[in-house]
A and B are shown apart, each in its own frame.
Chain A
Amino acid sequence: MKYKEKLIEISLKFCASITIFTTIGIIAVLLFESISFFREVSIFEFLTDTQWTPLFTEKHFGILALVSGTFLTAAIAIAVALPIGLSIAIYLNMYAPKSFRKTLKPFLEILAAIPTVVYGFFALTIVTPFLQTIYPDLETFNSLSAGVVMGIMIIPFISSLSEDALYAVPKSLKLAAFGMGSTRFQTAFKVMVPAASSGIIVSVILAISRAIGETMIVAIAAGQQPQFTLDPTVPVQTITSYIVQVSSGDAPQGSLEYKTIFAAGLTLFLFTFTLNSISFWIKKKYQEKYE
């Protein structure tokens, strides 16, 4: 009978260890193909060339073109989500009655639950035409629409996590500020936000990480033209969108084109891993403050 207990424990341990195998698998797959890729393309070219044309006859392998697309859309997304998300968090924490908070929060969570392909459709068929009425020179595929819609999608990330951070600030600080005659606005921005800054920063970093890794919205609405640019009105291509493009196509296994998606994937993984690690480190370091 005791063997049964031990057997059960071992099976459960195996289940838990699958998570480790997953991480090892990700690193192994990305490295394996990337190393093979870098035998044919120099890392120097990869990091400094500003053109990315692996699928054309004249091939360039500058990841910067994709990176710029990724960061441009992410930046627009954060520009939208941060002010809105943070304002919502402050409003719910400091102004809104408790019942508001309870009923509204689930609705905001819904924004995060909508499949991203639906957001992509929305960006292409509704947002872009709408923006084109304001600015007729906006191209059909552009990073602005994609960025704005991505921003909408990540509002709950920032609002939810920031609100939790504000909630964790000891009430005594809030009361002290009110006691000195501050308005809620002043208390919010001079006392609460600075006190919750580590949590808010963590929420922003995680939102950036989410935006960088987003695929479908940009694949549908941002275009398939890798360009090293900061112009939000022209088509670009993100790392994620490129991977989708090649995967939908016919690149044979083992070909250079095939390997490019792993090199691009590795770059993406390094970015998000770094961001996630930074946010984890910040959370850990500043969590002790109020314990």
Chain B
Amino acid sequence: MNNFRKNKLIDHGFKIMGMLFTFLGILILIILIYNIVRVGYTRINWTFLTSLPSRKPESAGIYTAIIGTLDLMLLTVLFAIPVGVGAGIYLEEYAKKSRLSSLLEINISNLAGVPSIIYGLLGLGIFVRFFNFGGSILSGSLTLSLLILPIIIVATREAIKAVPHSLKEASFALGASKWQTIKDVVLPSSFGGILTGIILSLSRAIGETAPLIVVGAMAYVPFVPQSIFDTFSVLPMQIFNWTTRPQQGFAIAASGAIIVLLLITFIMNGIAVYFRNRWQKKLQ
């Protein structure tokens, strides 16, 4: 066949391939979730959610893992949000274009690309050993806070950038100080964008396993942590632990735990997307 027809065929062929590949990703996603749900669905019941982990797969539960995840997230939020939003405000509103501010930007961009396990090593060296917090919820949450800081900072900056300059001008012209303008005009307008960034960063933090293992989260914690200095376990760690056990019962338990984790992750991402859409509409 002549050149023209050949090219047309290749073109059409690639189009089909492209379509297939695009749907392949979604297809794999569906297979993955379907298989896990199929196996783990039967396992999920109230007992599962409220039992402590156990050496016997049938009686193992994710209670301590859920409590640990909740405690960890609460503490992480406490550290990461003020620091992250504060840094974002500083970089966007106070820092003038200088060598220092470029350096800060490059540094943050670099930190975003550092593997999470390296953050674990950082946490181990500084929080666990140097500050002597031990393998505790405190160490874990400080480590995770540092990990998600770049995400919050970037989201805050983008949200602030989107606030029209004219609003700030109006505020200054009325005699407001810089901080008053930020507090009363900029932050309320950028709130939606910042919130989206926070939720997305937390959704990432919830799924993190490696840095917490390094810091000392335990795989087997048959008690509920009482203070921030206690050892702890989190949901992804529990999944990891059960996955590495040979008994089939543990694979089922792991599936059940995965369903819970995925539900939490998807709900959080969904909420974040919802807020982002609402906020973007507000800006129009």
Contact = CB atoms under 8 A, between A and B. Distances in A.
Interface stretch (B55-63, B86-94, B158-166, B188-196): B86-94
Contact of B118 (A115, A248, A269): A269
B94 A280 contact: no
Contact of B18 (A19, A26, A95, A156): A95
Contacts of A216: 209-210, 236, 240
A33 B121 CA distance: 10
A122 B87 contact: no
B10 A185 contact: yes
A29 B121 contact: yes
Chain B interface residue number, banded = 35 or more
Given A19-B87, A183-B8, A115 B265 contact: yes
B130 to A, nearest CB: 8
B262 interface: yes
B39 to A, nearest CB: 8
Counting chain B CB atoms within 10 Å of each CB, which of A26, A96, A186, A214 scores highest? A26
A104 B240 contact: no
Contact of A243 (B28, B117, B209): B117
A189 to B, nearest CB: 9
Given A22-B111, A121-B254, A272-B114, A240 B149 contact: no
B67 interface: no
Nearest to B13: A185
B24 interface: yes
Given A23-B107, A23-B110, A111 B179 contact: no
A177 to B, nearest CB: 13
B261 A115 contact: yes
B25 A108 contact: yes
B107 A20 contact: yes
Contact of B22 (A29, A104, A261): A104
Interface stretch (B29-37, B44-52, B70-78, B167-175): B29-37
Contacts of A87: 14, 17-18, 21
A261 to B, nearest CB: 7
Given A25-B122, A247-B214, A220 B240 contact: yes
Interface stretch (A38-46, A47-55, A164-172, A205-213): A205-213
A8 to B, nearest CB: 5
Contacts of B10: 183, 185
Interface string A86-121: 011011100110000000101110110111111011
Interface string A253-291: 100000001100100110011001100100000000000
B265 A91 contact: no
A26 B113 CA distance: 13
Nearest to B243: A121
A32 interface: yes
Interface stretch (A10-18, A56-64, A131-139, A226-234): A10-18
Interface residues on A, range: 35 or more
A194 to B, nearest CB: 17
Contacts of A269: 114-115, 118
A84 B25 contact: yes
B106 interface: yes
B118 A265 contact: yes
A82 to B, nearest CB: 11
Contacts of B214: 243-244, 247, 261
A222 to B, nearest CB: 12
Contacts of B118: 26, 30, 213, 265, 268-269, 272
Contacts of B251: 125
Interface of B: 7-8, 10-11, 14-15, 17-19, 21-22, 24-26, 28-29, 31-32, 35-36, 82-84, 86-87, 89-91, 94-95, 104, 106-111, 113-122, 124-126, 129, 146, 149-150, 153, 177-179, 203-204, 206-210, 213-214, 216, 219, 236, 239-240, 243-244, 251, 254-255, 258, 261-262, 265-266, 269, 273
8 contacts: A13-B94, A22-B146, A23-B110, A91-B14, A107-B25, A110-B29, A117-B243, A240-B117
Given A12-B90, A117-B209, A121-B243, 15 more contacts: A13-B94, A26-B118, A30-B125, A91-B15, A91-B18, A91-B19, A107-B25, A114-B32, A118-B239, A152-B28, A183-B7, A185-B14, A215-B210, A262-B125, A265-B118
Interface of A: 1, 4-5, 8-9, 11-16, 18-20, 22-23, 25-26, 28-30, 32-33, 84, 87-88, 90-92, 95-96, 104, 106-108, 110-111, 113-118, 120-122, 124-126, 152, 155-156, 159, 183-186, 188, 206, 209, 212-216, 219-220, 240, 243-244, 247-248, 253, 261-262, 265, 268-269, 272-273, 276-277, 280
Going nearest first, the 8 A-B pairs with the smallest beta carbon separation are: A213-B115, A91-B18, A115-B207, A29-B125, A15-B86, A215-B210, A183-B11, A12-B90
